[in-house]
């Protein structure tokens, strides 16, 4: 889509320049141009800087007057220089029909929080005149930090020529829309300046992959299908025991081979099958809301996204999944939720009510996880005061909600021992805990290195408690971690 450059009549001044010679034209729009190939341009303001050359005019008239007064040919000849300069400046103007096409490409294949996203912007002069000085700034979403390259460029373009520039941002959870590009076109001597905005063709947003699309996180715990066996006899496929035949027993469960040998009617029992049960414990407490670099998501944001991905995968496999979240205030959740100890508790996320509650809790957790102010204070306090502790009764209140024989997946940056307290109690009760831990520490500061050393100590302790510990390095994306789990690696 495109239009001819639209002219606004606001008369706004650009770059602090003088408004002498300011030009404004009414907005125009042609139906035929709607199907053209270049971007829609909107002229924000245009300034002709004629007054800055008034000094040269005065100098020229002064020299000419002196030359005529003294009849000095040299002074008269010298006066031609300022006049020539002013004349050339007056002719140095921008074309009246500015036409520029701006297109954006985003490398957004399977993005997860923390992934680097390369953005490429191409600029084409689709007009018939040379643009000697064109400056462009892409409309980067405010929430995304630029980590490499620059969203700004300054170029000179002949008619029909194209230039490109690239920069890199860090993906976050959610869908972030780009804004219009800002352009500044200047004539060769800078005497005519037009400030424009341009709609950009191609990609218009950065969107993280739906957590449900991440394969591999279902393998974070033991490999199972949607059902698991119990020690009780019932319907199933695996042999459990035999018993004496009773009237009404199904014919296909009678052991006819035994009857042929001994004449006794015996009924075969199988191990009872039931839906596999999971509990996902998410930790987004204030100390977890820091990151290895200011441009990256916090450890809590990584954890919240991974926990949501795990719940979605478990539900897709037919597992019965419960959710517990530490660090979210129930009043910040849009639906009514239960609490158990210090955690929000959602009993069964596969049920309709449980699904709505889980979605609302994850939404609140994502917003809470991005809050860094309280996190920095809590982080410094934890470094000074040492490990945080949790009351045994608080732990017991949550563990008591776990379904029988459910396996526990703890998703936490592990900035203190609190998650380990829950894992230890779950292990005693046979809940088979697994730990998935994003690393929020980094080594860019002494505090980060100290926190990293303490975290590594806790990881070693976790390996003695949990069936499996997955350490998620700060330089690896969640998609890479999920792929590694899928392959059975670390």
322's CB contacts (< 8 A; 6+ apart) are 277, 278, 279, 280, 345, 346, 347, 348, 349, 401, 402, 403, 406
Task: Please give the backbone phi and psi of residue 456, each rounded to the nearest 5 degrees, phi first.
Answer: -65, -35
CA distance 365 to 357: 12
What is residue 92's predicted lDDT score, i.e. its pLDDT?
67
Provide the mean pLDDT of the chain: 77
Copy the structure tokens of residue 278: 């999971």
Asked if residue 360 has pLDDT above 90, the reply is yes
Structure confidence by residue, pLDDT tens digits, 208-229? 877 766 666 655 555 444 444 4
Asked if residue 292 has pLDDT above 70, the reply is yes
The answer to whether residues 379 and 262 belong to one domain is no
The answer to whether residues 158 and 300 belong to one domain is no
- For residue 219, being part of any structural domain is answered with no
The answer to whether residues 281 and 380 belong to one domain is yes
**Which residues partner with 323 through β-bridges?**
280, 346
Confidence of residue 61 (pLDDT cuts 50, 70, 90): confident
CA distance 4 to 208: 35
233's CB contacts (< 8 A; 6+ apart) are 240, 241, 269, 270, 271, 272
Structure confidence by residue, pLDDT tens digits, 102-133? 999 998 777 888 888 999 999 999 888 888 88
**Top-confidence residue, 265 or 162:** 162
- For residue 468, being part of any structural domain is answered with yes
The answer to whether residues 202 and 281 belong to one domain is no
In eight-state DSSP terms, residue 290 is -
- DSSP for 236-275 reads EEEEEEEEE--TT--GGGB-HHHHHHH---EEEEEEEEEE
Structure confidence by residue, pLDDT tens digits, 394-449? 999 999 999 888 889 999 999 899 999 999 999 988 888 999 999 988 777 777 78
The answer to whether residues 388 and 303 belong to one domain is yes
Structure confidence by residue, pLDDT tens digits, 237-287? 444 566 676 676 776 667 777 767 777 777 776 554 445 788 999 999 988
Confidence of residue 35 (pLDDT cuts 50, 70, 90): very low
The answer to whether residues 246 and 333 belong to one domain is no
- For residue 104, being part of any structural domain is answered with yes
Task: Please give the backbone phi and psi of residue 303, each rounded to the nearest 5 degrees, phi first.
Answer: -65, -45
The answer to whether residues 291 and 258 belong to one domain is no
CA distance 160 to 127: 7
The answer to whether residues 240 and 364 belong to one domain is no
The answer to whether residues 467 and 425 belong to one domain is yes
| Residue tagged 């075969």 (tokens) | 268
**What total number of domains does the chain contain?**
3
Strands (E), 320-476: 320-326, 338-340, 343-346, 407-411, 434-438, 468-472
In eight-state DSSP terms, residue 226 is S
CATH number of the domain bearing residue 124 = 2.60.40.290
The answer to whether residues 436 and 464 belong to one domain is yes
- For residue 75, being part of any structural domain is answered with no
Candidates 464, 353, 441, 340; CA nearest to 393 is 340
Instruction: Let me know: does 384 contact 408? Beta carbons within 8 Å.
Output: no
What is residue 317's predicted lDDT score, i.e. its pLDDT?
80
Structure confidence by residue, pLDDT tens digits, 68-97? 787 788 877 887 777 676 666 665 677 777
Instruction: Let me know: does 170 contact 116? Beta carbons within 8 Å.
Output: yes
CATH number of the domain bearing residue 467 = 3.40.50
- For residue 285, being part of any structural domain is answered with yes
The answer to whether the Cα torsion of 390, 396, 399, 405 is positive or negative is positive
What is the extent of the structural domain holding 390? Answer: 276-486
Burial letters for 17-56: b for 16+ Cβ neighbours within 10 Å, e otherwise? Answer: beeebbbeeeeeeeeeeeebebbbbbbbbbbbbbeebeeb
Instruction: Let me know: does 279 contact 398? Beta carbons within 8 Å.
Output: no
Q: How many CB atoms lie within 10 A of CB 191?
A: 23
The answer to whether residues 381 and 242 belong to one domain is no
What is residue 394's predicted lDDT score, i.e. its pLDDT?
92
- For residue 81, being part of any structural domain is answered with no
Residues of the chain with pLDDT > 70: what percent? 72
- For residue 481, being part of any structural domain is answered with yes
Q: Is 218 in a helix, a strand, or coil?
A: helix
| Residue tagged 């035994």 (tokens) | 258
């Amino acid at each position: 889509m495109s239009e001819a450059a639209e002219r606004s009549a606001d008369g706004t001044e650009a770059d602090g320049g003088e408004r002498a010679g300011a030009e404004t034209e009414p907005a125009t729009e042609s139906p035929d141009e709607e199907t053209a190939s270049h971007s829609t341009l909107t002229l924000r303001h245009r300034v002709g800087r004629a007054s800055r050359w008034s000094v040269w005019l005065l100098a020229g008239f002064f020299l000419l007057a002196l030359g005529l007064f003294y009849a000095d040919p040299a002074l008269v000849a010298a006066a031609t220089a300022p006049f020539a300069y002013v004349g050339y400046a007056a002719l140095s103007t921008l074309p009246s029909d500015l036409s520029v096409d701006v297109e954006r490409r985003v490398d957004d294949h399977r993005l997860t929080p923390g992934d680097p996203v390369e953005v490429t912007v191409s600029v084409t002069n689709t007009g018939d005149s040379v643009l000697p000085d064109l400056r462009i700034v892409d409309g980067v979403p405010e929430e995304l930090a630029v980590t490499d390259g620059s969203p700004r460029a300054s170029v000179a373009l002949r008619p029909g020529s194209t230039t490109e520039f690239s920069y890199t941002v860090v993906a976050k959870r959610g869908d972030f829309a780009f804004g219009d590009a800002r352009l500044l076109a200047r004539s060769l001597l800078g005497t005519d300046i037009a400030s424009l905005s341009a709609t950009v063709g191609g990609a218009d947003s950065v969107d993280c992959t739906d957590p449900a699309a991440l394969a591999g996180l279902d393998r974070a715990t033991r490999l199972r299908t949607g059902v698991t066996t119990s020690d009780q006899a019932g319907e199933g496929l695996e042999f459990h025991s035999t018993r004496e035949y009773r009237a009404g027993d199904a014919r296909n469960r009678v052991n006819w081979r035994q009857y042929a040998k001994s004449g006794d009617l015996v009924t075969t029992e199988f191990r009872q099958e039931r839906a596999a049960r999971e509990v996902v414990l998410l930790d987004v407490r204030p100390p977890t809301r820091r990151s290895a670099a200011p441009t990256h998501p916090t450890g809590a944001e990584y954890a919240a996204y991974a926990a949501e991905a795990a719940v979605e995968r478990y539900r897709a496999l037919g597992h019965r999944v419960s959710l517990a979240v530490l660090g979210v205030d129930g009043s910040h959740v849009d639906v009514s939720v239960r609490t158990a100890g210090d955690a929000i508790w959602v009993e069964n996320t596969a049920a309709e009510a449980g699904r709505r509650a889980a979605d609302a809790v994850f939404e609140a957790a994502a917003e809470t996880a991005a809050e860094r102010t309280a996190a920095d204070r809590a982080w410094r306090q934890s470094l000074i005061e040492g490990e945080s502790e949790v009351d045994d009764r608080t732990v017991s209140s949550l563990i008591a909600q776990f379904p029988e024989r459910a396996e526990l997946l703890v998703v936490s940056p592990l900035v203190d021992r609190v998650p380990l307290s829950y894992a230890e109690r779950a292990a005693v009760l046979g809940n088979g805990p697994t730990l998935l831990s994003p690393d929020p520490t980094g080594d860019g500061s002494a505090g980060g290195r100290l926190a990293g050393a303490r975290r590594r100590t806790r990881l070693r302790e976790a390996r003695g408690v949990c069936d499996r510990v997955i350490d998620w390095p700060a330089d690896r994306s969640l998609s890479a971690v999920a792929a590694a789990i899928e392959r059975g690696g670390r």
